Structure 1
Amino acid sequence: MADSDSTRTEVDRRVAPADAFGAIANETRLAILRALWEAPERPVSFSELRASVGMRDSAQFNYHLRQLTDHFVRKTDEGYSLRAAGKGVVRALVVGTFTEDPRRDPFPVGSDCVHCGEPLHAHYADESLTVDCTACERVHSRHPFPPGGLFGRDDDALLDAYERWVRGQYALVAAGICPVCGSELRTELVTDTDRFSEDGTASACRFPEYDTVVLATCDRCIRRVGATVGMRLLSASAVAEFYRDHGLDLATIPYWELPWAVSDRHTTVLNDDGGTTDPWRVCVTIPLDDEVLRVTLDRDFDIVSTDRLGQEPV
């Protein structure tokens, strides 16, 4: 009988992490995965795959192929093709996650700090790109970005790709989807950021200038993403419409130029008396020209109301 709980997922076979990594810790096996990735048509026959890898010993080749079959490689009557795990390994190799450690020295961003007005700079190290102000030391953005994204791009193209990448990541987070593994995220509002260390596990939460952040946690891949409440509104249609009414396209404005997105001074927690008031609300005020858009979100970070007001000091 089928399980009546539609949210339940059956796992037919689970491979121990040590066994999975052990299976690909071999140049021949990595070559097999790469050959399947680059094959013009799949499935690929045994003989064609062996020829692509360039291995004469059929028995030896068959041994290595068997170590990959089921978890990384799918075998059918027609031949062999990559499973999702196999594609993931090759993608990691292609983008340089396992093999590259590029760096890019600080370069001007072309935007000014939303706090002190001094020019912003960006640099890349440890597989993350950082946009910050060297004058007041405020970090406007720091987010993991694949090493492969640096190659073939000048500074401007890199910043554009990075900005679009981060927007896409946060759009997934706002939808409750882990940008790494696709699992469901557990989200909480954190107003005590001192409990986060400087080890980078909580992303924006580790920056001392933030007092109020949204922390999204994936219990499956242990990914934690912290951000201001404003960052969750970058893909909100009500905010985009507000900017459009003022003749601006929100999608074309780098988010580090938006004070309500890269600081929490425009964020207010309402009806919060230590957790005894339910429901609490969190409000983000977005000033633009002679207007202010006030966006109110509930405990699930869904927008419950938007109000347009005359310009007010924030």
Structure 2
Amino acid sequence: MTRRDSGRSDPDADTISEVGHESFGTLANGTRLEILDALATADSPLSYADLFERSSADDRGRFNYHLRQLRDGHVRKTDQGYDLTQSGVWATNILTASVLQQGGERPFREIDSTCGNCASSPVEIGYRDGEGIVRCRECDRWLTRFDFPPGAVRNLSLEDFVEAFAQRTRRYIGLADAGVCPFCSHRMTSVLRPGSATRSDSLPVAFDCSGCSAELRAPLGLVLSNRPRISATLFERGIDLEETPFWEHGWCTFSAPTVSRTDPLLVTLEIPADDEDWTVLVDENVDVRELNC
């Protein structure tokens, strides 16, 4: 299971509040949102006339006012016409993803996949309050849950939702493992943290961000699945996580590592492949010490 926990106090909360108020205030108007949408969906910069025509504004004076509010922040004027700045691109991406909307659900549906814990099939995928959730009814367990943009949930087919959720979750964990926060891009640290377990994973990898105060918890197997040496070895043994969702593999979601030594901490994770087990020895900083296969 993976999750994001942003419940810690933020030392820069006042700064974030001030900047956020200014940024969201600039976008708090229907005409301005129409301007951003028109530029985001255009194949090239738009002239003033084209931009005005694509909006619902019927008064050029008011339209000019709203366009000025976006200038030099989200919109720039070039020799070719009006275009989005990078902050304008980020703003439209956030709006398209609908990540600021409350709630949102997608009923659980059976999918052509198996449970990595009990090997039953099919399992189910659904969406609640900003998170994709994969669960197994047979063993009554959640196989994984993680952030997912509600905008995509509404538009993707079931098959595409499954693939996008599986790959996005792995990529986010991989980015965190590389030391980059997948949410704000600040520095992220990782450590095996005994005692912070949830359900099946007794030694999760804990990621902490120095910027947005995001916290991630992920099974060791899921973290290791993104390492080039591990993924290459898996591929050689017929396990391709680009083709099969990670929750189909017990070592990736449910298998807890075995403590080999406590001071300093060393743990061993067994990964079954080709009808035999191979082992990975990892230290408390999640560095691979040995790979025996």
Interval containing the TM-score (normalised by the shorter chain):
0.7 to 0.9
**Alignment match of 2:230 (pick from 239, 242, 253):** 239
Shift in alpha-carbon separation, 1:241–1:35, aligned structure 2, 3 A: closer
User: Which residue of structure 2 lines up, in the alignment, with residue 3 of structure 1?
Assistant: none
User: Which residue of structure 1 lines up, in the alignment, with residue 243 of structure 2?
Assistant: 252
Q: TM-score, normalised by structure 1?
A: 0.77
1:113·1:133 contact (CA, 8 Å) conserved in 2?
yes
How is 1:8-27 mapped onto 2 (pairs within 5 angstroms)?
16-27=19-30
**C-alpha separation in 1, matches of 2:278 and 2:178:** 22
RMSD: 2.7
The one-letter code matched in structure 1 to 2:233 is: F
**C-alpha separation in 1, matches of 2:233 and 2:97:** 37
Q: TM-score, normalised by structure 2?
A: 0.82
The one-letter code matched in structure 2 to 1:223 is: A
Cα distance, 1:67 vs structure 2: 1.9
User: Which residue of structure 2 lines up, in the alignment, with residue 210 of structure 1?
Assistant: 201
**Alignment match of 2:149 (pick from 140, 146, 151):** 146
User: Which residue of structure 2 lines up, in the alignment, with residue 268 of structure 1?
Assistant: 258
User: Which residue of structure 2 lines up, in the alignment, with residue 228 of structure 1?
Assistant: 219
User: Which residue of structure 2 lines up, in the alignment, with residue 307 of structure 1?
Assistant: 292
Could you say what secondary structure the match of 1:115 adopts?
A: coil
Shift in alpha-carbon separation, 1:253–1:96, aligned structure 2, 3 A: same
**Alignment match of 2:43 (pick from 18, 36, 40):** 40
Cα distance, 1:138 vs structure 2: 2.0
**C-alpha separation in 2, matches of 1:33 and 1:104:** 28
User: Which residue of structure 1 lines up, in the alignment, with residue 7 of structure 2?
Assistant: none
Could you say what secondary structure the match of 1:53 adopts?
A: coil
The one-letter code matched in structure 2 to 1:296 is: L
User: Which residue of structure 1 lines up, in the alignment, with residue 266 of structure 2?
Assistant: 281
2:130·2:149 contact (CA, 8 Å) conserved in 1?
yes
**C-alpha separation in 2, matches of 1:121 and 1:81:** 43
Shift in alpha-carbon separation, 1:244–1:41, aligned structure 2, 3 A: closer
The one-letter code matched in structure 1 to 2:277 is: V
**Alignment match of 1:170 (pick from 169, 173, 185):** 173
1:32·1:53 contact (CA, 8 Å) conserved in 2?
yes
Could you say what secondary structure the match of 2:112 adopts?
A: strand
Could you say what secondary structure the match of 1:55 adopts?
A: coil
2:102·2:129 contact (CA, 8 Å) conserved in 1?
no
1:93·1:99 contact (CA, 8 Å) conserved in 2?
no
**C-alpha separation in 1, matches of 2:238 and 2:54:** 56
The one-letter code matched in structure 1 to 2:151 is: G
Could you say what secondary structure the match of 1:271 adopts?
A: strand
The one-letter code matched in structure 2 to 1:216 is: F
**C-alpha separation in 1, matches of 2:154 and 2:239:** 31
The alignment-based identity, stated in percent, is: 30
**C-alpha separation in 2, matches of 1:152 and 1:61:** 31
User: Which residue of structure 2 lines up, in the alignment, with residue 292 of structure 1?
Assistant: 277
Structure 1 residue runs of 5 or longer lacking an equivalent are 1-13, 194-204, 309-314
Structure 2 residue runs of 5 or longer lacking an equivalent are 1-16
Cα distance, 1:150 vs structure 2: 3.1
Cα distance, 1:64 vs structure 2: 1.4
The one-letter code matched in structure 1 to 2:290 is: S
1:269·1:283 contact (CA, 8 Å) conserved in 2?
yes
